[in-house]
Structure 1
Amino acid sequence: MGIIFPLFGIFTSFLLIYYLSSLNRSNAFLALFFLCCNLVVLVYYGLHYTQNLFWEGICFVHFLPLSYLLGPFLFFYVKTLVTDQRKLEKFDFIHLIPAAFIAINCLPFTTLPFEQKAKIAHEIINITERYTLDFQFVSFEFILVSRSLHLLAYCLFSLIYFTVHSQRTKTKFGQLSTNHGILKRWIYLLCAIQFVISSNSVLHMLTVVGIYFDFQSDAYTQIFTSKQHYFAVAGGGFFLQNLFLFLFPKILYGNISFIPDKVRGNLIRDLKYSLPKKRNFVETNLEFKEEIAIYLLSLPFTKKEFSIAQMSFDLKIPERTLSLYFNTSLGLSFSEWRKKIRIDYAIVMIDSGDSKKITIEAISSNAGFASRSKFIDAFKEQMGITPSAYIKSLEK
């Protein structure tokens, strides 16, 4: 029965990825966080409950770097949620260094033949229970204890980050979002669950590797050396975490923002924070042309990262519905449509005389193209001549 907990969590993770990654980028990190949490529980179950050499060989050590991704993914989720940033900065990838370090550190074991790894894993888990292996830089015992301390630190860091940005948002806009109370309860609940799980894990691992406290009692030792107790707390905690997500529908469906409503226009707010619309094919043909025309007035396609996922998020229309509209009604894929409207916009800029003031490269960038060469190729494909030749024809 214990395996139901992580499997349900993995299902929840893929549910988040399927429905939310295109509507709210921060929830993509939430999905990754949930996936890693439940994989950790599944690995523990495979090690201690299957009594199978194959699963013991697969689960032992190989998945240790996952434990060092829990904290970063939790922080990335909080950061992208409260700052409305859709992409990580280069500096953010520093948070992934511990996971990479552990992966490198474990190479002497992970590169052994599988049969040998399975034998070592079975002996340690079921016979000796002495967690000593030859690693490169740090010991196995250090990893078992530090991974939970690592998550504890990120829980605290994420809460501080959320609190600081709440104060900054209130200072900047004079108020907090109407969603702030929901977000606060969700973030605090999420971090509290991780705090309980990781604290229990630290005490469990300390007793497993033979580190005891002066105040320990027989009851303390019996509880925190018990695999059943550890799995009940970790598995049950992650199961409750998955379950609680369904009690926060605004988080689940991604239609929530940290920024106060008053800084957004009424039209955009209504489009952005209503649930995705269910429409049939006839309604699509009748309504989309007008809605997209209004949407394009804000020139979203001039941003290099403009995608069908972004358009789906802004209009609150499922990607599949948009894709169907482009393919059936316009006879174009989204990429072809995006390229066409960018070229049309570039032609408007050229016709208005911008080509006399700025370079072709600047025009391509202002139209949303990633490079000058891609702009020239797309322009020639649509107009039959290069941008330079088009500009010269206007001069003549």
Structure 2
Amino acid sequence: MDKINLLVIVTVISLFISLFLAFFLLTVKTKHKISNVLFAIFLLVTAIDLSHVLFNLVAGGPSNLGMFRSTVAFLQIPVFYLYVLSVCYADFRLKPKHLLHLLPFLIANVVLLPRFYTVDAASKIDFIVNRQNMVELQFNHILVHIQVVVYFTAVFILLRKAKKLYFENNAGTNINAYNWLFQFTSVLTILYLIVILKNAFKFSDYAYISEWIKIAILIAQLFIICWYLYKALNHPDLFRNIDLKLKLVSDLVLEEKNSGQSAIGEKEYKEELLKLQRYMTEEKPFLNPALTIQDVAKKIKVPVRDLSLLINHKLEQHFYDFINAYRIEVAVDMLKDASKSKVTILEILYEVGFNSKSSFNTAFKKHTGNTPTSYRKHL
């Protein structure tokens, strides 16, 4: 099988899966509609970028449509960034300011106006033949590389902040979703770095290496899309969003220092701590797997800001770990109870407020030094 046939087969399969998943995301009924729409757009833009192999087979030569199709790649990473924002924050909404993310795409097309979009066919052919010397294409390649670095850095910073906010304000056990999104972003980052390598060879004396890297990228994209398709179909409610207006505790502490005021005094701190501990032991709210710091604050009638500072700053524990400590304490008592020796580990983890075996095992080992199974065996 020659290189062209391989490219066509892989491209057709990738396009079909991308379009199928985009259709699925746009039509499935879910409360996370914005996230689905944004990722569907990302897939559609990716499909347009992937279509260059088929487009080149049917195109009679360089054209405005063909060049415009190639610049659509500038929309991929900004759309992915907005997708990550929508996944991390429950109250995310598209706003006019988000149109600024179109700037790289618009700039890339504007620079092509004088010597490509507005000239005749012969000049277009000459432009492509001498592409290695065309400053417009060199500029666009530099621009897309800068875009890759800036946006993926922003995505990783966003995920780091979102995960920390989750730990400080939630006690649900869906944190693995953020870990998965981090993995997915890491894979995409590696893929785009390979694209940068491909482009470097494209403008060198080893252009043929660029073609083989292109095949590898197409195959890799196919597997990545299949991976996401598997996740989307098996975990349609993969992510638990947090409030966009929430602040990190470190920012709250900094605000206090700058204002010269403390949210709560030592006396109030002790009173609220006693109130919190009494509520936790008597009401056992931690048995709710979707418990948030807002839920607890409402019940004990303490402002969310004060409660967050109390747990995350004063007690030096994330709310996530604070709640899990109570859950593990109950789990340990159940494992020690001889009358519950027939109760499985899975039943115990659900009963104490976890909904993930991996999260339960991680929390249990963190608090006891052993896995639940090992702990039960050595009783």
The normalised TM-score by structure 1 is: 0.53
The equivalent residue for 1:146 is 143
Does 2:12 correspond to 1:4? yes
Cα distance in 1 for partners of 2:120, 2:237 equals 42
Q: What is the Cα deviation at residue 83 of structure 1?
A: 0.9
Cα distance in 2 for partners of 1:120, 1:143 equals 18
**1:163 partner amino acid:** R
Q: How does 1:1-396 map to 2 (within 5 A)?
A: 1-8=9-16, 9-19=18-28, 23-47=32-56, 50=57, 52-54=58-60, 56-57=62-63, 60-109=66-115, 111-112=117-118, 115-116=121-122, 119-120=125-126, 124=129, 130-133=131-134, 139-173=136-170, 175=171, 177-185=172-180, 187-210=181-204, 225-249=208-232, 253-254=236-237, 256-259=239-242, 261-263=290-292
Overall identity of the aligned pairs, in %: 13
Question: Aligned residues, how many?
Answer: 239
Counterpart of 2:68 in 1: which secondary structure? coil
Q: What is the Cα deviation at residue 256 of structure 1?
A: 3.8
Cα distance in 1 for partners of 2:141, 2:108 equals 11
Q: What is the Cα deviation at residue 195 of structure 1?
A: 1.7
1:204, 1:225 within 8 Å by CA — same for their partners in 2?
no
Cα distance in 2 for partners of 1:261, 1:164 equals 20
Q: What is the Cα deviation at residue 55 of structure 1?
A: 6.3
Q: 1:179 to 1:109 in 2, by over 3 A?
A: farther
Say what the alpha-carbon RMSD is for the aligned residues.
3.1
Q: What is the Cα deviation at residue 81 of structure 1?
A: 0.9
Q: What is the Cα deviation at residue 96 of structure 1?
A: 2.0
Q: 1:29 to 1:14 in 2, by over 3 A?
A: same
Counterpart of 2:173 in 1: which secondary structure? coil
Q: What is the Cα deviation at residue 230 of structure 1?
A: 2.6
1:13, 1:31 within 8 Å by CA — same for their partners in 2?
yes
2:201, 2:210 within 8 Å by CA — same for their partners in 1?
no
Deviations 1:303-331 (A, max 9, x none): xxxxxxxxxxxxxxxxxxxxxxxxxxxxx
Cα distance in 1 for partners of 2:146, 2:291 equals 40
Q: 1:203 to 1:90 in 2, by over 3 A?
A: same
| Unaligned 5+ runs, structure 1 | 211-220, 266-396
Q: 1:255 to 1:184 in 2, by over 3 A?
A: closer
Q: Which runs of 4+ in 1 moved over 6 A?
A: none
2:25, 2:36 within 8 Å by CA — same for their partners in 1?
yes
Q: What is the Cα deviation at residue 23 of structure 1?
A: 4.6
The equivalent residue for 2:326 is none
Cα distance in 1 for partners of 2:29, 2:51 equals 24
Cα distance in 2 for partners of 1:115, 1:163 equals 49
| Unaligned 5+ runs, structure 2 | 1-8, 243-288, 296-379
Q: What is the Cα deviation at residue 158 of structure 1?
A: 0.8
The normalised TM-score by structure 2 is: 0.55
**2:185 partner amino acid:** C
**1:74 partner amino acid:** F
Q: 1:57 to 1:85 in 2, by over 3 A?
A: same
